[in-house]
Chains A and B, each alone.
Chain A
């Protein structure tokens, strides 16, 4: 089962977040970290050298953050919350450096009897930071809390197939889940970085007050001031032997990009998230600091509504997709820090359909398609907002490119309040952003009539078979068979879909070279190798 796929990465994070805050690149994925993969799976030569050393205070500056910051073992609101949640809590299954699920987490196995009955067994002898032993009760409590509609935690959406009444404790380490419907993506949902295991009775109300913040993770919270900083000390009871290496971790909110870069250059912090593309050369050029690049599957699509004119004519959608000069969009909108897209999301999915040819700019064909559809000299508004790096930039580059095909695209950059108003998800032509997820999870989040964020209103009337294929895929536990089905689905979206997916951004984070253990090229959901896997796989050299 360990080859199972489809990690879900609910960007639902974004539901809770204002765009500016979380994620410039919407890395709301479910993972602990990710390495290797497409670009450079080899560990950075500089960082593989010596054996880990103990000690020191690790200080990290995180972008965004405000008085909205929270600490909850199963919830985040801002980007610094992501940096904090990994200190104290862990999942049952974890994503590895290649964005594949592995049983390296709290569960030693999770096995399906069918796509709707799953058995979870946790490892023996893991203790929470307060000494309590991890048991089946904690797992049941944690899952119930995640899907509690009263709490409205965003990790719950991906677990909507779980029936709270269908959960049964088989012995002190084993739980059986009976789902409301077949759901082969349940492991992805359990691998989300917010799908953490908390002890029975956990409530964030206890945070920072009388009761300590209890989790199985490598650090224990010492102090927390929302919008400013938090201090975490080593959990002496941690179950992975030898780890973590730091005595203390300080997580500092930095709203301003320049201040964050200056603090890194000046040696006031040891690492930072989100180096602005324009500052990459500055950080790399300064002695003692470097930029860590991690490919991500986060994307900022241009969305066309398949049920509204002019895009209800599939030829117009196809023409727009042929207008995009993707390498140029990466170069200009992302300053070159990204990977070209092929109008398909979930590029890290093991079942990603690589057999579909890469789409290139073809103005002549775009023009003839538009002519055939009766939309020569098309003029249209493209709504955008500063939600994530690449939204406005991509829209503007696209508008330039469209001129060659005789199409006038008027980019309307709106205030986020106006963009996410009643018109949101109703715009005919707009941009948006999504984080790293596997295919079926992304379909659930954005490509079904029931999805909470279906900008394109996909599938159109002629492509209803997409829905039956999706149901079929969810009920298929066998990895190969499911891959065959999802590739058919991808092929439909590739030919007829409403997204222009021109690229995937690269995570750019900075670190001081005295920090050891970071790996280049890890497939990134969370920055800096998922914050050094909760600050436990990195150390000071």
Chain B
């Protein structure tokens, strides 16, 4: 038996792998569920007997589903994601750059929204029931209620096309460049994601901070005469943040899958656009690969959140010993 933090992490990782295995089964089964013959569904009107035969061979459709799944899983483990049916190139080449671009988008969105949300949550909890608190609460609820494509379109109308033309309405990033070389193109999509994610995190942060601020040790710290700022940031926030971490992870995971819409609106060359493209083209190897990538991000974030939660909570930390 493994003990302590490292044992815990290893157990969580193994469970994560098991989840991924189950996901791979579902993804594979879903692609089998295409109506009729998948090869015909892929080729559509352009199907000829020759092209059908060739594609069936390429997809291994002549073999049993179990053999097909085994082959695919083997490829997945060895890093061979297969060949894109649409691009006739290795899947890794088709989606590699896209994953990088989406990761950049997600990273910037996370780096801005998490500290911002934590700060908003802490300050509104500290000034509970003030006008500021109520104002923020209404504003954040309003933003949370807006679907992100609405936010995106409003931002485009405001800053890209109709009212002011200060930022590019569409993120045209030349294919050979890295996304971070075009900061201007990143502003609107990142802003949209920040607006989509911040309200949730800050609401949770506020709720848990309200609880913490009423606890005995905060009272004690105040009675000792500690400056209020120090009470808030040194004592209350580290304890209030634990429940928030789970929400942060959920929101980041949501970003991994949910940026599809945002990328689409801004024409941003990330996995969202690639995913839509692959589904439209019935490019099954790419769909499978992207589904697995996104699932892996979910699993990783959840494991990471569990680990971080334990590390920041002394009670949980010691209970593992």
Interface residues of A (CB under 8 A from B): 14-21, 66-68, 152, 223, 225-229, 252, 254-256, 258-260, 262-263, 265-268, 286, 415-418, 420-422, 424
A17 engages B46 (CB within 8 Å): yes
In the complex the two chains form, is A15's CB within 8 Å of B266's CB?
no
> Does B225 have its Cβ within 8 Å of any Cβ on chain A?
no
Contacts A16-B46, A420-B45 given; does A268 touch B40 at CB 8 Å: no
13 A-B pairs in the complex with CB atoms less than 8 angstroms apart:
A15-B45, A66-B281, A225-B175, A225-B176, A255-B264, A256-B267, A258-B153, A263-B267, A265-B162, A266-B160, A266-B169, A417-B35, A420-B45
Q: Check if B35 sits within 8 Å of A418, measured CB to CB.
A: yes
Chain B residues, CB < 8 A from A20: 280
Which 9 residue pairs spanning A and B have beta carbons closest together?
A: A225-B175, A417-B41, A266-B169, A67-B87, A262-B169, A259-B267, A265-B161, A420-B45, A263-B170
Could you say which of A68, A229, A262 contacts B160, with CB atoms under 8 Å apart? A262
B residues 195-224 near A (Cβ < 8 Å) are: none
Which residues of B, 171-201, contact A by the 8 Å Cβ criterion?
172, 174-176
Say yes or no: A66-B264 contact (C-beta < 8 A), given A265-B162, A415-B35. no
Given contact pairs A19-B45, A268-B172, enumerate 17 new A-B contacts (beta carbons under 8 Å): A68-B86, A223-B176, A252-B172, A255-B277, A256-B264, A259-B267, A263-B172, A268-B168, A286-B161, A417-B34, A417-B36, A417-B40, A417-B42, A417-B282, A418-B41, A420-B44, A421-B35
Majority-rule SS of A interface residues: loop
Chain A residues near B265: list those with CB within 8 A: 256, 258-259
Verify if B156 is at the interface (C-beta below 8 Å from A). yes
Residue contact A266 to B161, C-beta cutoff 8 Å: yes
How many A-B residue contacts, CB cutoff 8 Å?
115
With both chains docked as a complex, state the minimum distance between the C-beta of B228 and any C-beta of chain A, in angstroms: 47
Task: Determine the chain B residues whose CB is within 8 A of the CB of A229 once the complex forms.
Answer: 172, 174-175
Q: How far is the CB of B94 from chain A (nearest CB, A)?
A: 6
Distance to closest chain B CB from A341 (angstroms): 23
Residue B269, interface by CB 8 Å: yes
The size class of the interface chain B forms with chain A is 35 or more
| Distance of A418 Cα from B175 Cα, bound (Å) | 34
A266 touches B170 (CB 8 A): yes
Distance of A254 Cα from B273 Cα, bound (Å) = 10
Most chain B CB within a 10 A radius of its CB, from A15, A262, A267, A416: A262
List B residues at the A interface (Cβ < 8 Å): 34-36, 40-42, 44-48, 84, 86-87, 89, 94, 153, 156, 160-162, 165, 168-170, 172, 174-176, 264-267, 269, 273, 276-277, 280-283
Assembled-state Cα–Cα distance A183/B172 (Å): 48
Complex: how many Å from CA A18 to CA B46?
8
Residue of B nearest to A231 (CB): B174
Q: Would B165 and A66 count as touching, CB distance under 8 A? A: no
| A36 to B176 CA separation, bound complex (whole angstroms) | 41
User: B87: which A residues are within 8 A, CB to CB?
Assistant: 67-68, 226-227
* Residue of B whose beta carbon sits closest to that of A253: B267
Contact partners of B46 in chain A: CB under 8 A: 14-18
A66–B280 CB distance below 8 A? yes
Tell me if B169 and A19 are in contact (CB < 8 A). no
Name the B residues within 8 Å of A254 (CB-CB): 170, 267
Q: Which residues of B are found within 8 Å of A18, using beta-carbon distances? A: 44-46, 280-281
Q: In the complex, A228 Cα to B156 Cα: how many Å? A: 21
> Inside 8 A of A267's CB, which chain B residues have their CB?
165
Report B98 CB to chain A, min CB distance, Å.
10
How many whole Å from A294's CB to the nearest CB in chain B?
A: 25
Listed residue (B35, B41, B44, B283) with the most chain A CB atoms within 10 angstroms of its CB: B44
Which residues on A sit within 8 Å (CB–CB) of B269?
228
Interchain CA distance A263-B165 in the complex, whole Å: 11
Distance in angstroms from B110 CB to nearest chain A CB is: 24
A229 vs B269: C-alpha distance in the bound complex, in angstroms?
Answer: 11
Q: A523 to B266: give the CA distance in the assembly, Å.
A: 33
Residue on B with the closest CB to A254?
B267
Whether A266 and B165, one on each chain, are in contact in the complex, defined by CB atoms closer than 8 angstroms, is: yes
Question: Are B175 and A67 in contact, with the CB atoms below 8 A?
Answer: no
**A67 contact set on B, CB distance < 8 A:** 84, 86-87, 89, 94, 277, 281, 283
